[in-house]
Amino acid sequence: MISTSVADEFRSIVGDAWFLDTPEDLATYSYDGFLPEFMPDAIIVPGSRDEISSILRVANREKINIIPRGAGTNICGSSVARKGGIIIAFHRLNKILEIEPENMCTVVQPGVVNADLQKEVAQYSLMYPPDPASLFVSTIGGNVALNAGGPRGVKYGVTRDYLLGLEVVLPSGEVIKTGGKVLKSVSGYDLTRLMCGSEGTLGIMTEITVRLVPLPPAKATLQAMFSDLDDAAKTVSAIIGSGIVPTTLELIDRVVLDVIANFGGAKFSKEAEALLLIEVDGEASSVEGQGEKIERFCKERGAIEVERASTPEEADSLWQARRTAFGAVASVRPNCIVEDATVPVKRLSEIIRKIVELADKYHLRIGVLAHAGDGNLHPLIMTDLKDKEEMARIDKALDELYEVTIAMGGTLSGEHGIGIAKDRFMSLEFSESAIDIMRGIKKVFDPNNILNPGSFL
């Protein structure tokens, strides 16, 4: 609970209109893309870095928890007030401050929506590569704090690979700058990268500088259907191993294809057990050759059908199944748990087999959607949170899934983060000493543990 006098102090910083505490406001910010709900004490919507700094000074003095929040689309529960406190939302800080084609970079406020940035920089024939499937709503601040990836990650990497510099307000209210517009800098510890993926636990980012790349002039989009899931998974590893670097290499299994078809998304051959969506980009001449090579490759490895788009409209329609997938799966049962197990690409077919085995063993409906080209799987568990017995079976299946993932040299999260969804698995991936180092880092930044204290540490 926040005392009336402290609430008044916050109101005087941001103005009455931007301190929200009606029951409707609290309920609206009580959940994110993950499942559990926690009621915050208030929501503050600051309009400047200086306001954020003043808010944090008061919160630090009063030891009030602060939870930064972009669009709330994270699927790991890292923007909810698990231990109570105030949510700070960034939708007023949504300006693209600079686009510098000469430096191939842009400076933005944290509340800029990813797709808005993509659209803006495209006018300069530039591209910001990280493209989470949530790009039409998720913010650059949220993307950086979770080190978001996306379908283009196979070729272009993740948010971290484009992050150049930050302005950060520390829990004490002090402001620090890290990095800048230079492409190379080896000065001191890399605080910019430390902030990336820190899930709102170390500081609040108020300005973000990211690198841009030239917008590729051409692309080829292909869809290949396989009657054997294993053949599809092995084709992924084979394409990656052949030296072709696709922009996108997505896999959808039969369970998800059925759901998409029932949702009215598209029709697929009855024999199809898996779909691969593959895209390459670059100069028109090289893209054409790579497209042909991939088509041949898929056919040689058992594809029963390969379609290559010859117009942008055809490419768009090949993307339709992938775009519909999340919405379609979410419509099947009251809830859908989206997992994020990630393994070395070579182990892809093994981990997919394991997921099929777990679905069978624990009588669960699990579909597989994967950014397969970088080994990042999203097992989609269709469920009902109210069914306690089923939830217990899901817990057991997840215990097994993450034990196997780590044993294969994989990681708990390829892009969605740990949050409250996976904190219980941290000791599978990290030794106690490694976790202690993380706790120590947190303490240096945030000695009073006010920033997102319920999250992964």
Ligand X SMILES: Cc1cc2nc3c(=O)[nH]c(=O)nc-3n(C[C@H](O)[C@H](O)[C@H](O)COP(=O)(O)OP(=O)(O)OC[C@H]3O[C@@H](n4cnc5c(N)ncnc54)[C@H](O)[C@@H]3O)c2cc1C
Q: Which residue is nearest to ligand X (CB)?
A: 142
Return the range that interacts with ligand X (CB under 6 A); candidates 138-146, 225-233, 300-308, 359-367. Answer: 138-146
Residue 342 tokens read as 């990630």
Residue 129 tokens read as 């590569």
Return the range that interacts with ligand X (CB under 6 A); candidates 141-149, 219-227, 242-250, 271-279. Answer: 141-149
Residue 279 as a binder of ligand X (CB under 6 A): the answer is no
84 three-state secondary structure: coil
**Residue from 373, 427, 444 nearest 194 by CA:** 444
Q: Measured between alpha carbons, how far is 414 from 395 in angstroms, rounded to an integer? A: 20
Task: Give the orientation angle of helix 312-330 with respect to helix 254-262, to 10 degrees.
Answer: 90
Q: Is the dihedral of CA 338, 343, 344, 349 positive or negative?
A: negative
x/- map, 212-251, ligand X, by CB under 6 A:
----------------------------------------
Q: Which is nearer to ligand X, 366 or 451 (CB)?
A: 451
Residue 342 as a binder of ligand X (CB under 6 A): the answer is no
Q: Which is nearer to ligand X, 2 or 112 (CB)?
A: 112
List C-alpha distances in Å: 259 to 31, 238, 331, 369, 383: 26, 28, 9, 12, 14
Residue 75 as a binder of ligand X (CB under 6 A): the answer is yes
Listing DSSP states for 325-377 in one string gives HHHHHHTTSSEEEE---B--GGGHHHHHHHHHHHHHHTT-EEEEEEEGGGTEE
| Dihedral class, residue 122 (left if φ above 0, else alpha if ψ from -120 to 50, else beta) | alpha
Q: Which is nearer to ligand X, 147 or 235 (CB)?
A: 147
Q: Which of 33, 265, 410, 453 binds ligand X (CB under 6 A)?
A: 33
Residue 138 as a binder of ligand X (CB under 6 A): the answer is yes
Closest separation between CB of residue 191 and ligand X, Å? 13
Q: Which of 142, 265, 367, 373 binds ligand X (CB under 6 A)?
A: 142
Q: Measured between alpha carbons, how far is 256 from 202 in angstroms, rounded to an integer? A: 38
Q: Which residues have CB under 8 Å from 319's CB, separation 6+?
A: 221, 277
Residue 71 as a binder of ligand X (CB under 6 A): the answer is yes
Residue 209 as a binder of ligand X (CB under 6 A): the answer is no
Of residues 92 through 121, those in contact with ligand X by CB under 6 A are 110
Closest separation between CB of residue 340 and ligand X, Å? 8
Residue 146 as a binder of ligand X (CB under 6 A): the answer is yes
Q: Which residues have CB under 8 Å from 52's CB, separation 6+?
A: 46, 88, 169, 204, 206
* 256 backbone dihedrals φ, ψ, rounded to 5°: -70, -35
- 242 close to 297: Cβ distance less than 8 angstroms: yes
Q: Which of 19, 29, 34, 90 binds ligand X (CB under 6 A)?
A: 90
Closest separation between CB of residue 89 and ligand X, Å? 8
Closest separation between CB of residue 419 and ligand X, Å? 7
Residue 204 as a binder of ligand X (CB under 6 A): the answer is yes
400 three-state secondary structure: helix
Of residues 312 through 341, those in contact with ligand X by CB under 6 A are 326
Q: Which is nearer to ligand X, 14 or 287 (CB)?
A: 14
Residue 72 as a binder of ligand X (CB under 6 A): the answer is yes
Closest separation between CB of residue 16 and ligand X, Å? 23
Residue 454 as a binder of ligand X (CB under 6 A): the answer is no
Q: Which of 253, 415, 423, 446 binds ligand X (CB under 6 A)?
A: 415
Residue 248: strand pairing partners: 279
The amino acid sitting at 110 is P
Q: Is the dihedral of CA 363, 379, 198, 114 positive or negative?
A: negative
- The site for ligand X (CB under 6 A) is made up of 32-33, 67-75, 78-79, 90, 110, 132-134, 138-139, 141-143, 145-146, 148-150, 199-200, 204-205, 326, 415-416, 452
